[in-house]
Structure 1
Amino acid sequence: MKSKLILFLAAWLPAAVFASGAPVHLDRAPVNVNDKISLQKGARLFVNYCLNCHSANYMRYSRLTDLGLTEQQIADNLLFTQEKVGQPMTIALRPADGKAWFGATPPDLTVIARSRDPDWLYTYLRSFYRDPSRPTGWNNTVFPNVGMPHVLWELQGEQVAHFKTVKDHEGREQHVFDRFELIKPGKMSRAEYDAAVGDLVNYLVYMGEPAQAKRKQLGIIVIFFLLGLAVLTYYLKKEFWKDVH
């Protein structure tokens, strides 16, 4: 357990270091866990692009039935190995191999949206750019020197980042991000890609707590029940004490 914690901290340490420097603007993630169509699209992207290196060991395929999918649809469209619908979303990648290839073991993503803000994930997945100096050929403005390659590059295309030099309040020069330039279009337009990433982040949020929507619905029912009970109790009290002066 201790070794896993050390590996996780090593994987995310560069982001913590960067956070101490210039702040990064985060775009608002279009999260709506009640949108089952969006969650279905996000689940498809997750299985096709993320589940090769990242596991979701605390999420079972069978929970996708809550999104309106049947077990047969899950088996036909989201299972590509010999796994069963009732099994968790595990991967064949060994942690040692992941560390050797990427410099750190790819973290499990079951609760990544709870440890990382959804806005951070949404911005991060749209901020990869070409960088020949990196081992994978990719870098990220939100997570500098990240070991993860841009797995969605075929959808987004290839972009380069332009930086500018500014001076801080103490007169020191800093190189800060200015803008992206698309140098090779992908299969999707910018709007389509942003929507796809929004669906993926939406699914990551859902996966962190699949019962979230039902919990909130139940909470509303309980609140209305208690309000009704309070009114009933009030009038019952008045009836009991009406003859007491």
Structure 2
Amino acid sequence: MTLESLTADNLGAVHHGFFSRKGGASEGIYAGLNCGAGSADKSEIVAQNRSRVADAMKVEPIALVGVHQHHSADVAHIEAPTDARPKADAMVTRTKGVALGILTADCQPVLFADIEAGVIGAAHAGWKGALNGVLSRTVEEMEALGAQRKNIRAAIGPCISQRAYEVGPEFFESFTSQDPAFSRFFASGKDERMQFDLPSFGLHMLREAGVESAQWIGHCTYSDEARFYSYRRTTHHRETDYGRLISVIRL
């Protein structure tokens, strides 16, 4: 089956893709293109899936670089193809032929590009990373490689939408304690629960970081089981594990 790769209009001709779960070799609860080495899927199957993505991005498998994600604001500088996975939640590079791959399963995959400077970035931005500044840090590290903030474009790929993201009062307080104005990213839900708008919060943080061209390409990972993996949906279905989607950008 052919891989399905979604793209963002504002990233233009930069080679990138937000890959869905379609076209992979995994089976069972991972059925499709599971690219998460941290899952309990067979390692050789995950490697095969990643190889298919590398081929789609026209790079060797070792040039599809990733990080050991841990919901931080840490950013790794990638200078050459490597199978090492530094502990971070974002990457930046100006090296041609290196593809930056971020894994998600409800969190925001965010791809960045300054086309004129030839600098790209990729970030894993769940609620914690987004709140703690991973998106602004990615912009700063792109600037360190020669990018100009005014020229950086960013696109958020498929992630959990507000209608599917129910949270409790302590979650709400973690945001409003940092900035009371963040309450606008929450809508009332059942009882004392609330609905959090993760992609709108991500867009806000990107624009606060000076990124004028920022968009969410849409698509709710929770609501579309045929196309996307979802940690929250897996939890609700009482499944033992879940697959990881990959989003990739390269020069």
So what's the TM-score if we normalise by structure 2?
0.27
Structure having the higher Rg: 1
Q: Which has the higher strand share?
A: 2
Of Structure 1 and Structure 2, the greater helix share is in: 1
